[in-house]
Amino acid sequence: MPFLVFGAPRIEEDEIAEVEACLRSGWLGTGPRVAQFEQDFARWRGVRASQVAAVNSCTAALHVSMVAAGLEPGSEVITTPLTFCATVNAILHAGLTPVLADVDPVTQNIDPDAIEAAITPRTRAILPVHFAGRPCAMDRIMAIARKRGLVVIEDCAHAIETEFHGQPAGTFGDFGCFSFYVTKNVVTGEGGMILGRDEEHVARAKMLALHGMSKDAWHRFGDQGYRHYQVVECGFKYNMMDLQAAIGIHQLARVQRNWKRRRELWQRYDEALAGRPIGLPAAPEEGTRHGHHLYTVMIDARSGIGRDDFLEAMNARRIGTGVHYLSVPEHPYYQQRFGWRPEQWPQAMRLGRQTVSLPLSPAMSDGDMERVVEAVRSVIPA
Ligand SMILES: *Cc1c(COP(=O)(O)O)cnc(C)c1O
């Protein structure tokens, strides 16, 4: 029985041919394919091409977005404890101070009431994460931000397809940051995208992502003659390569089809696991589009097995699973630096200790799906 790899991407012949063409073109770095991917992405989310900038990760996107937002050092940024460490690390890299606000136990997204309770005179931004692809309560979050004059940076790592009341995730705040990491819904290997409301802020983020140079390498080394560049800020090395965009262009062209397949798998899990003593993810909310990035089940007191034993049992059945996530304050670095304790954010702590993500990749066959269902049923009898 082959091991079912968690989050395996669905790579097709178009990507392989485009990567080969890119290699043969002699132009591997930031160039025409990145520009094409940016245009395609802008069209997908209904914004102008000047409102997006491709980078080499979502972590990089979050970092330079926060720098470009011009928040003074030490400003507090409110985010969720139920996220990947990169969300909090990016706040720290930007010289800002993370403040956690607990999640809603049903949606697993940051709770707007908890955001309000976490606001201090030093609060300057809110960084919501659309967890698992389910949109945050953007009406309430934007109302809080407007009332208090706060910047909003959306972590859209799970949310390429997500919409809230007909509007795409990433277009509510000042910035939306997307990931094209290998397990995400659109894959470039490593990769990310900045989407910004203000073109000038996006231009600054883009410049910061390439050493703070005023013209990118494509313009400098194109066929229009040598161009001098000027370094106008101390930037970073966060640019996306054409080699990566070559994959992304074709992945993005199939974003809708792959989403439909994940939704099918999601519904099949819902049916097949109903009635077992495990928690299933909340149904998508009316008037929203769920990105269906993660299918998270809760292994709790009723389940008759501990969460970590469940992970082991699935592994023994040759099925890869994930944990999204142990809450941020479970990690020693944040405990030591900020004195955080998981108990301070009890919902995120409990979810983080119970949650298991089942495979939900469009690369899965119906047979793969049934294997996962059978495995869960054998570990957790009705
Ligand atoms: C994957 C992920 C990131 C980081 O994305 P990279 O592209 O790997 O840097 C940030 N936030 C969340 C919620 C993620 O899942």
DSSP string, 64-105: HHHHHTTPPTT-EEEE-SSS-HHHHHHHHHTT-EEEE-PBPT
Cα-to-centroid distance, 301 and ligand 1 (Å): 30
From 57, 80, 84, 325, the mutation candidate for ligand 1 (largest count of ligand atoms within 8 A of CB) is 84
CATH number of the domain enclosing 303: 3.90.1150.10
What local confidence, expressed as pLDDT, does residue 225 receive? 73
Cα-to-centroid distance, 18 and ligand 1 (Å): 25
| Residue 5 in domain | no
Atom nearest to 192 CA in ligand 1: 7
The answer to whether the CB of 108 is under 6 A from ligand 1 is no
| Residue 3 in domain | no
CATH number of the domain enclosing 246: 3.40.640.10
- Same structural domain, 290 and 211: no
Q: Is 184 a catalytic residue?
A: yes
The answer to whether the CB of 188 is under 6 A from ligand 1 is no
Q: Give nearest CA residue, ligand 1 atom 14.
A: 157
Please give the tally of structural domains in the chain: 2
User: Which position has the token pair 């990016």?
Assistant: 90
Q: Which domain holds residue 120?
A: 13-253
- Same structural domain, 143 and 290: no
Q: Quick one: residue 23, left, alpha or beta (phi over 0 = left, psi -120 to 50 = alpha)?
A: alpha
The answer to whether the CB of 123 is under 6 A from ligand 1 is no
Atom nearest to 131 CA in ligand 1: 13
- Same structural domain, 213 and 272: no
What local confidence, expressed as pLDDT, does residue 375 receive? 98
From 181, 188, 294, the mutation candidate for ligand 1 (largest count of ligand atoms within 8 A of CB) is 181
Q: What is the mean pLDDT of each run of 10 residues along the chain (382 residues)?
A: 94 98 96 97 98 98 97 96 98 98 98 98 98 98 98 98 98 98 98 98 96 73 74 96 98 98 98 96 97 98 97 98 98 98 98 98 97 97 88
Rounded Cα gap, residues 107 and 131, in angstroms = 8
The answer to whether the CB of 80 is under 6 A from ligand 1 is no
The answer to whether the CB of 161 is under 6 A from ligand 1 is no
The active-site residue, picked from 184, 215, 237, 260, is 184
Q: Which of 253, 279, 304 is the last residue of a domain?
A: 253
- CA nearest 256: which of 283, 281, 292? 292
What local confidence, expressed as pLDDT, does residue 217 receive? 56
Q: Which of 199, 231, 253 is the last residue of a domain?
A: 253
- Same structural domain, 279 and 244: no
Atom nearest to 90 CA in ligand 1: 10
- Same structural domain, 222 and 311: no
3-state class percentages of the chain: helix first, strand second, coil last, to nearest 5? 45, 15, 40
- Same structural domain, 167 and 281: no
Q: Which of 192, 224, 253 is the last residue of a domain?
A: 253
Q: Give nearest CA residue, ligand 1 atom 5.
A: 58
| Residue 190 in domain | yes
Cα-to-centroid distance, 155 and ligand 1 (Å): 8
Q: What is the pTM of this model?
A: 0.97
- Same structural domain, 89 and 196: yes
What local confidence, expressed as pLDDT, does residue 382 receive? 86
- Same structural domain, 284 and 248: no
What local confidence, expressed as pLDDT, does residue 221 receive? 58
- Same structural domain, 128 and 164: yes
The answer to whether the CB of 86 is under 6 A from ligand 1 is yes
Cα-to-centroid distance, 131 and ligand 1 (Å): 11
Cα-to-centroid distance, 65 and ligand 1 (Å): 14
| Residue 47 in domain | yes
- Same structural domain, 52 and 120: yes
| Residue 207 in domain | yes
| Residue 6 in domain | no
Residue environment code for 283-307, b if the CB has 16+ CB neighbours within 10 A, otherwise e: ebeeebbbbbbbbbbbbbeebeeeb
- Same structural domain, 229 and 334: no
Distance of alpha carbon 329 from its chain centroid, rounded? 19
The answer to whether the CB of 347 is under 6 A from ligand 1 is no
From 155, 251, 355, 360, the mutation candidate for ligand 1 (largest count of ligand atoms within 8 A of CB) is 155
User: Which position has the token pair 């883009």?
Assistant: 206
- Same structural domain, 310 and 226: no
The answer to whether the CB of 240 is under 6 A from ligand 1 is no
**The pairing of beta strand 355-358 with beta strand 295-298:** antiparallel
| Residue 2 in domain | no
What local confidence, expressed as pLDDT, does residue 56 receive? 98
